[in-house]
Amino acid sequence: MSSERRLVVASGNPGKCREIARILTGFEILSLADFAPIDFPEEGADYAENARVKAAVAARSTGWPSVADDSGLEVEALEGRPGAYSARYGGPGLDDRGRLEKLLEELAGVPAPRRARFYCVAACAWPDGASEVADGFCEGVILDAPRGTSGFGYDPIFQPNGFDRAMAELDRTEKDGLSHRGRAFGALEPLIEQRIRSAR
């Protein structure tokens, strides 16, 4: 594959890297594991800024166009929490399962439907400083208990609208077609293609 179609995924999350590689099938995807360690700035509450900064830092550090995303689970009954802090919800001592259980504890007693959405902003940055962003979301509800073994993060307790299964019970094709990340990177892809064509 041509080097112009090479992208670095600015994430250390292997599940996220695999998803992005499945979505951006027309590109050669490199992970951060292929490069020297990179220090990223602390993330804040702005999805777009977080994604853009991560992509820009990776692009400058590796010398290759880099993609990143920032995403979160926004729960209506919790006034949008955990939101952009979803990956750090409950503090640094919790893993995916611990964060999921903490969320269910907070929602104890909240009647169904417990509406929520996954939201994602995807960014691509080039070593020259240019960047593009796109977003996507997936509406659904929070289940009473985890279900399924696919996916990662909050997927086992999130049921997308129109489905009777948790996100973690969907196969990869189903998930990529409706997920917040699938939609965000699906919208970002033509912007990357446009940049490649204009650079020729």
Residue range 136-190, pLDDT digits in tens = 999 999 999 999 998 789 999 999 999 999 999 999 889 989 999 999 999 999 9
Confidence check: pLDDT of 44 > 80: no
Candidates 136, 2, 134; CA nearest to 64 is 2
In this predicted structure, the answer to whether residue 56 has a pLDDT above a threshold of 70 is yes
pLDDT of residue 2: 64
Domain containing 7 — which CATH number?
3.90.950.10
173 CB neighbour count, 10 Å cutoff: 10
Q: What is the pLDDT of residue 151?
A: 79
Q: Is the pLDDT of residue 119 over 80?
A: yes
Tens digit of each residue's pLDDT (9 = 90 or more) over 173-186:
899 899 999 999 99
CA atoms of 76 and 79, how far apart (whole Å): 5
CA-CA distances (angstroms) from residue 140 to 3, 5, 47, 76? Answer: 39, 34, 20, 11
Q: Do β-strands 66-75 and 82-83 pair in parallel, antiparallel, or remain unpaired?
A: antiparallel
| Over residues 115-144, mean pLDDT | 97
* Number of domains present in the structure of the chain: 1
Number of H helices, E strands in the chain: 5, 7
Residue 187 structural domain: 3-199
pLDDT at 121 over 80: yes
* CA-wise closest residue to 78 among 119, 47, 115: 115
Residues carrying an active site annotation: 70
The pLDDT of residue 29: 92
CB 89 within 8 A of CB 99: yes
Locate 192 and state its tokens: 């990357």
Tokens standing for 39? 């220090």
For residue 152, what pLDDT is reported?
84
CA atoms within 13 A on the CB side of 172: 8
Q: Which of 26-35, 101-110, 182-191 has the lowest mean pLDDT?
A: 26-35
Mean pLDDT over the full length of the chain: 92
Residue 133's CB is within 10 A of a number of other CB atoms, namely 22
As a whole number, mean pLDDT of residues 123-143 equals 96
Model pLDDT, residue 1: 60
Helix H or strand E segment including 131: strand 131-142
Residue, of 106 and 17, whose pLDDT is higher? 106
Residue 41, SS3 per DSSP: coil
Rounded CA separation 115/102 (Å): 17
Nearest alpha carbon to residue 103 among 142, 51, 53: 142
Whole-model pTM: value is 0.91
Residue 92 has pLDDT above 70, yes or no: yes
Specify the pLDDT at position 150. 86
